[in-house]
Amino acid sequence: MGQRNTDTALLIFSLSARREADRKGLFGIGKKRSVNELFDILIGRTREMAAASGVDAFIIDEGKQHGRTFGERYANAFQQIFDQGYTKVISIGNDAPDLTAETLRTAIDQIQQNDLVVGPSTDGGVYLLGLSRSLFDTDEFLNLPWLQDSLYDTLSQGAYWQQGGSFSLHWLSDIDDTASLLRFVQNTSDNFLRGFILIHLYRSKTSYGHRAATLFFDVHTSSQTLRGPPFTHTYSKSVQKAA
């Protein structure tokens, strides 16, 4: 194993599965349990990825977030980790299921050479944001168009954010609504998640449920299998929770 990186930290900035289920009606009305189960899986995978990342990881969910707006809560989370002595922070969420350990390692490698690392999402936002302490400025950070489809363009084209060098990862999709959930199902190679999502969409009495039924039977009649290894929540002890 390589030497552990001690000046870089991983920030998992997200909501709990219960809060995600309250916010996102991915499977239709009255299907909060299905959304909760999906995000339990995604959060578990994110934590396992973090434990294997080679850097210290901090989980900051709604119970540890402080601020009135998303931007304030996010800025405070970065500042909290910088205040502990880390000089570089890589931030990810739990709603980009195609994020891999390899992509995360690339981001960690690139933040050693650049002050800004961005993982663009197909909706115009970002699924990963890495910043060096020297570049982080609270006022500039708060002025970014958080939760808007212009965020990535602002990050990648703004002169302030390019002054210390930047690196852009490949594009990924995140899951914010049922439409993005279906797009993920159509494009992913993750048969386990595809099967889970299609089964729960198929049970939905919505227009998306009818579309999912078509996809469901297409997948069953293809050479691909919906089966995958059972997911177990085995969170590594090396994942640290922020105080």
Domain ranges of the chain: 8-174, 178-221
Residue (of 87, 225, 218, 111) closest to 168 by Cα position:
111
Q: Which CATH class is domain 8-174?
A: alpha beta
Please report, rounded to a whole number, the percentage of residues in the chain having pLDDT higher than 70.
Answer: 80
Instruction: State the CB neighbour count (10 A cutoff) for residue 225.
Output: 12
Strands 166-168 and 116-120: parallel
Return the closest-CA partner of residue 26 out of 175, 178, 176, 173. 178
24: its two tokens:
């996102």
The backbone region for 101, taken as left when phi is positive above 0, alpha when psi lies in -120 to 50, beta otherwise, is alpha
Most confident of 54-58, 163-167, 205-209, 235-239: 54-58
In the block, residue with structure tokens 């489809």: 149
Residue with tokens 């960690």: 108
pLDDT value at residue 156? 86
Report, in this order, helix, strand and coil percent for the chain, each rounded to 5. Answer: 45, 15, 40
Kindly give the residue spans of alpha helices, DSSP state H, lying in 94-206. Answer: 101-111, 138-142, 151-157, 159-162, 178-187, 191-202
Q: pLDDT tens digit string along 38-63?
A: 999 999 999 999 999 999 999 999 99
Q: Which residue has the tokens 């690339």?
A: 106
Give the H/E segment covering residue 120: strand 116-120
* Separation CA 162–CA 120 (nearest Å): 16
Is the pLDDT confidence value at 183 over 80? yes
- C-alpha–C-alpha distance, residues 141 and 208, integer Å: 37
pLDDT tens sequence across 85-134: 999 999 999 999 999 999 999 999 999 999 999 999 999 999 999 999 99
Specify the pLDDT at position 224: 44
